Amino acid sequence: EPEVTQTPSHQVTQMGQEVILRCVPISNHLYFYWYRQILGQKVEFLVSFYNNEISEKSEIFDDQFSVERPDGSNFTLKIRSTKLEDSAMYFCASTGTSGNYNEQFFGPGTRLTVL
Amino acid sequence: AQSVTQLGSHVSVSEGALVLLRCNYSSSVPPYLFWYVQYPNQGLQLLLKYTSAATLVKGINGFEAEFKKSETSFHLTKPSAHMSDAAEYFCAVSVRQGAQKLVFGQGTRLTINP
C-alpha cells in the first residue's frame, strides 16, 4: 500500500542552524502539506503546496520557513535559522485529486529538537 | 474560519465498555469532518470521514461517527473497547475542495483499563 515517508525520523540541531526535513509523498498525489505538533499540543497546519507553489500558509509559516519540491518525488521543509520553539513533530501529508474529499495521508513524522 | 473542540483531553474506559469521544465543530460553510488516530510514536491514521453523504459514518477498527448538523457535532463511538484502541484521537474539519487545510482539535487521549 502506498505511503508517505519522511526522513529523518529524529533531527537534533543547535539554535540558529538550518534544517531541511524531507518527505516523499504518495506518487500520484497532487497536493502536499506540512503540519507540526508541539509536544502535548494539537496538530497545526503550516503550509499547503500545489502545482509547484504555495496555495495557503498559516501565521506560523514566516520567512524562516520555505518549502520546495526539488524533483518529482521529494517535498522539503526548510527552516533557515531554528529557534527553541521550533522543537516539534513535523508531519508531511499528501492527497490526490479533489475527489478524495481531502483525505490526507500522513507520514510518520520527523521529531525536531532544537537545543 | 473553522475550528474544532474536543471535549475531554483524557478519556478512560474499561475493556469492553462503550467508547464515546466528543467533537464539536464550527464552520461557516458545510464541512468535511475527519477522525484521525495517533498511536505512540507514529503518524496520523484516518479512522473515518464525513463528506456530506450518509450522516452515520463507519470507519476502521469498529469505530463510527454521526454527523449532527443541528448540534454541530461529530462524536466518535465504538460499542466495545479493546486494549489496542489506546491512542490519541484527533477530530479535524476542512472546507471546500482542492488543497484545503485540516484544522484539528486538541486531541483526546483514550486509555483502556483491563
The percentage of residues in chain A with a pLDDT greater than 70, rounded to a whole number, is: 95
pLDDT tens figures, A14-39: 999 999 999 999 988 888 999 999 98
Q: Is B83 helix (H, G, I), strand (E, B) or coil?
A: helix
Question: Is the pLDDT assigned to residue B99 strictly greater than 70?
Answer: no
pLDDT of residue A100: 56
Tens of pLDDT, residues A51-109:
889 999 999 999 999 999 988 789 999 999 999 999 999 999 998 765 555 678 999 99
DSSP secondary-structure letter at B60? G
The residues, ordered by sequence, that sit 6+ positions from A29 with a Cβ below 8 Å of its Cβ are A94, A95, A96, A105
Task: Give the pLDDT confidence score for residue A99 in this predicted structure.
Answer: 55
> Given pLDDT bands bounded at 50, 70 and 90, which one contains residue B27?
confident
Q: Which of residues 55-84 of B touch A (CB under 8 A)?
A: none
Residues of chain B found within 8 Å of residue A67, distances taken between Cβ atoms: none
Q: Which residue has the cell 461557516?
A: B28
Average predicted confidence (pLDDT) for chain B? 91
- Chain B CB contacts of A105 below 8 Å: 46
Cα–Cα distance measured from residue B30 to residue B13, given in angstroms and rounded to the nearest whole number: 33
The rounded distance, in Å, linking the Cα atoms of B111 and B114 is 10
Whole-number Å distance between alpha carbons of B44 and B48 = 12
Hey, what's the cell of A6? 519522511
Distance CA A5, CA A2 (A): 10
A43·B106 Cβ contact <8 A: no
Beta strands in B1-114 (DSSP E): 3-7, 10-14, 19-26, 32-38, 44-50, 56-58, 64-68, 73-78, 87-94, 103-104, 108-113
Look at residue A96 in the predicted model and tell me its pLDDT.
Answer: 79
* Contact B90/A at CB under 8 A: yes
Res B98: pLDDT: 56
For residue A48, list chain B residues with Cβ-Cβ distance below 8 A.
Answer: 99-101
In angstroms, the separation between the Cα of residue B5 and the nearest Cα of chain A is: 11
B97 pLDDT higher than 80: no
Q: Judge whether A50 is closer than 8 Å to chain B, CB to CB.
A: yes
Contact assessment for residue B60 and residue B47, using Cβ atoms and an 8 Å cutoff: yes
Contact flag B43-A55 (C-beta cutoff 8 Å)? no
Q: Does A108 touch chain B (CB under 8 A)?
A: yes
Residue A97 confidence (pLDDT): 64
